[in-house]
Structure 1
Amino acid sequence: MIKHIVMWTLKDQAEGRDKAANAAEMQSRLLALKGKLPQAVELEVAVGGEIFAAVPETDVVLSSSFRTKEDLQTYAVHPLHLEVVEFIKKVVSERRVVDYEV
């Protein structure tokens, strides 16, 4: 099993919205991928810097699981995922990623 964790810091303003509105939009778009991309065994999204005590500058966290590295690679280039990525790139100021095998 491959665990894929992504942490984002959002811009204060982007796409006509404030940080909180963009975080909610990111969460909604990411969660909409559930069930549409069979490669993702698990997909969770947490919003709100106050809940990430260890990384206070983090606004949104994605935690997902994949059976294999190949499944993660397939997910990464899937058109539905890439649509979400297009939006995320417009509202994010920093991105941190870790993938590991469990």
Structure 2
Amino acid sequence: MIRHIVMWKLKDTAEGATRAENALKLKEKLEGCRDIVPGILRIEVGIAKPGLESTYDVVLVSDFADKTALDAYQVHPTHEALKSFVGAVREARQCIDYEI
């Protein structure tokens, strides 16, 4: 099984929306990827809350049955469309994939 974790720091404003609004949009778009390819076992999206320590705004924690499933997710048209939105609203991105 492969765990895929991505964190995004968002711009203060982008695409005509605030950081908080774009965080909610990103969460919705990521959760919309939950069943796009076989082998996605879990998608969890968290948004940083005021008062809790964080250096990033949105986190994705997802599990895939294997690398083949992760690779299929990466190139799926729904995920590709999401990448263009992320590119417009993100300031920084961190990612790690590892076997569990």
Which TM-score bucket, shorter chain as reference? over 0.9
**How far apart, CA to CA, are the structure 2 residues paired with 1:51 and 1:2?**
31
Q: Is the 8 A contact 2:45 2:60 kept in 1?
A: yes
Please provide the CA RMSD for this pair: 1.5
**How far apart, CA to CA, are the structure 1 residues paired with 2:59 and 2:52?**
9
Identity of aligned residues (%): 39
Report the TM-score, using the length of structure 2 for normalisation: 0.92
For structure 1, the 5+ residue unaligned runs are none
**How far apart, CA to CA, are the structure 2 residues paired with 1:51 and 1:80?**
33
Offset of residue 50 of structure 1: 4.1
Offset of residue 64 of structure 1: 0.4
Report the TM-score, using the length of structure 1 for normalisation: 0.91
What pairs with 1:1-102 in structure 2 (closer than 5 Å)? Answer: 1-50=1-50, 53=53, 56-102=54-100
Which one-letter code corresponds to 1:43 in the other structure?
A: I
SS in 1 for 2:4: strand
For structure 2, the 5+ residue unaligned runs are none
Matched positions, count: 100
